[in-house]
Structure 1
Amino acid sequence: MTASTIHRPAAAARSRLAAAGAIAVAGALLLSACGDQTKKSGGKEPGSAASAAPLFDKLPQAVKDAKVIKVGSDIAYPPVEFRKEGKVIGLDPDLADAMGKQLGVRFEFNNSTFDSLLAGLRSKRYDVAMSAMTDNKDRQNGVDPSTNKKVGEGVDFVDYFQAGVSIYTVKGKSEGIKGWPDLCGKKVVVQRGTVSDDLTKKQSEKCGDNKISIEAFEDDIQAQTRLRGGGADAGASDFPVAAYAVKTSGGGNDFELVGDQVQAAPYGIALPKEQTQLRDALKEALDAIIKNGEYQKILNKWGVADGALKEARVNGGS
């Protein structure tokens, strides 16, 4: 779920990390598509202690009253967010828990498909979307990258991580694929609506008559399953996700990374443009956990320390 500009190295413009550390967490369960499976991110209910949190007074009154921030997320994207033994875990839930302690509220993760998250924000189904979503100008401005037409009001982002997009293949079957130009004439699996999807389409346009055959799925786990079963030549995904699949799928025997990451860009927490007070409170909370060291501990835990930011940013994507 990233942004585009080939060059990069990181994992989906949502995708860029130069190195993925070992992540010792077992596989992810595929979730059903709509927000009917609401889960807490693992934090404790703040209750009466909420007002004692250092940044509680920074929140909008409606959030103070609810003591909950409703999060739209595609909870099938390990190691960023996924489910294990019925619990939502990963990089995003851990960061949300840490920010929640600063704000005195609980972040409640609700499952949905990635390509429906911004619509969920517009309909006020969620307060924010946090799902390895790449911050880029198209999303800020509400523009569909495939048509360059405005389709919505756009969103603001609080940037919390850096990543790029990577290509991966079945282990030992790279078929001469060493970079994006080598995908011409190949079949590639992606997650629908992500920067990986956008990048693959743009590469196909450069292939002349030898177009890329693109198969897009609701989530990345389905794409991995298709590739593992021999239904495609390669997959494209955010680097942290591709690296995690290479590390864990089949005990590390299913996939391999090929080529360099491209299109490095920030992941951002998305929220409606009118929610400036909530946006600024989230930024302060993120800066607080960066400063107190909790942020780095969480990135180290998930093996993605190379994607760290030194400070929170608003709309830092290009």
Structure 2
Amino acid sequence: MTARSIRRTTATHSRIAAVGAIAVAGTLLLTGCGDQTKDKDSGSGGASKASAPLADKLPESIRKAGVIKVGSDIAYAPVEFKDDSGKTVGLDPDLADAMGKQLGVKFQFENGTFDALLTGLRSKRYDIAMSAMTDNKSRQDGVDPDTGKKVGEGVDFVDYLTAGVSIYTRKGDTGGIATWSDLCGKKIAVERGTVSEDLAKAEAKKCPSGKKLTIEAFDDDQQAQTRLRSGGADAASSDFPVAAYAVKTSGGGKDFQLVGEQVEAAPYGIAVAKQNTQLRDALQAALNAVIKNGEYQKILAKWGAADGAVKESVINGGK
């Protein structure tokens, strides 16, 4: 995803601390995601309700169901993606499992395109959206970052990580690209609805006559990577953890290289409908319990995101 903006949509899908170098487990491979209407993957669930210390904080309907339905774009390694067996893995699913132990429920990840996740949340298809989604004011207020117009109710965010946005190119073929301003006259591939797309649109407005920045937006980050790999674009952009993972793993590390510095560091948040304050507060309590008991730090270290750790979860910390 890209600091999934808006950051995955407001201007500026990236994540104050920059996420550190990605340490990639060799057994994990980048894989594409399936049909959003069919792909459902239950996480390796929570503990029994009797042993879950925070179960009573959940809404009664979710306690009875024993499941929290999670909308997620499961093609954004290492945050969430499919392994060789088709199982949903990554930083978000691991955090969800740890939180599930505190709450006594399972987090069931359901695949969807990133730019449709908040719509799915509003329609109650999902209970939450957890997908490397940047917490920003536009999303909190339900405002379209391009037009400034109100498009929905907005959501609350339970923040859990910080990260920035990066640009990468084919390895050995940077085309002189080191900053966003170097993209004028070039073509960039991004995931639709992300901060990367927002940043590209903002940069395109600054380009001089005769040096147009062409933006190709795709349903998921895998498609953007494929476009760059094939030579159909000069560069691609996504959140730093994702870009670094792609650089590390694609083609055995021979396909891509990072260029320039990551920008627009901002929090990732779990999106919850405004009216679901009890669920929101339960998630925050579970996340803070996982931070306190040390599981959080181990999970971030496993996925190379330790430098983006937060000391505590806050609500709507994005600007």
Same fold (TM over 0.5): yes
Distance 1:217 1:306 in 2: 29
Partner of 2:188: 188
Aligned-residue offset at 1:36: 1.6
Residues 237-291 of structure 1: CA deviation (Å, up to 9, x unaligned): 1000000000000111100000000000000000100000000000000000000
Partner of 2:70: 71
Normalising by structure 1, report the TM-score. 0.94
Residues 57-96 of structure 1: CA deviation (Å, up to 9, x unaligned): 0000111110100000000000000001111000000000
Distance 2:179 2:283 in 1: 37
Distance 1:36 1:154 in 2: 26
Aligned-residue offset at 1:32: 2.5
Which shows bigger deviation, 35-44 or 105-114? 35-44
Identity percentage of aligned residues: 65
Aligned-residue offset at 1:104: 0.5
Residues 15-71 of structure 1: CA deviation (Å, up to 9, x unaligned): 963422311142232123424211012235x4xx31331000000011111010000
Structure 1 runs (4+) deviating above 4 angstroms are: none
Aligned with residue 2 of structure 1, among 1, 5, 22: 5
Aligned with residue 40 of structure 2, among 32, 38, 41: 38
Q: Could you tell me which runs of 5 or more consecutive residues in structure 2 were left unpaired when the two chains were aligned.
A: none
Distance 1:23 1:17 in 2: 17
Partner of 1:154: 154
Residue-pair matches, total: 309
Residues 91-132 of structure 1: CA deviation (Å, up to 9, x unaligned): 000000000000000000000000100000010000000000
Code of the residue aligned with 2:152 in structure 1: it is G
Distance 2:293 2:17 in 1: 25
Conserved 8 A contact 1:156-1:315: yes
Distance 1:141 1:53 in 2: 33
CA separation of 1:171/1:15 partners in 2, compared to 1, >3 Å: closer, same or farther? farther
Q: Secondary structure at the match of 2:224?
A: helix
Distance 1:72 1:16 in 2: 26
Aligned-residue offset at 1:13: 1.1
| Match runs of 1:171-210 below 5 Å | 171-209=171-209, 210=211
Q: Secondary structure at the match of 1:316?
A: coil
Aligned with residue 29 of structure 2, among 12, 27, 51: 27
Partner of 1:225: 226
Q: Secondary structure at the match of 2:268?
A: strand
Normalising by structure 2, report the TM-score. 0.94
1:314 aligns with 2:315: yes
Conserved 8 A contact 1:2-1:238: no
Conserved 8 A contact 1:16-1:240: no
Conserved 8 A contact 1:192-1:216: yes
Partner of 1:8: none
Distance 1:202 1:217 in 2: 18
| Match runs of 1:234-313 below 5 Å | 234-313=235-314
Distance 2:170 2:230 in 1: 9
Please tell me the root mean square deviation across aligned C-alpha atoms, in Å.
1.4
Partner of 1:108: 108
Conserved 8 A contact 1:191-1:218: yes
Partner of 1:7: none
Partner of 1:163: 163
Q: Secondary structure at the match of 1:158?
A: strand
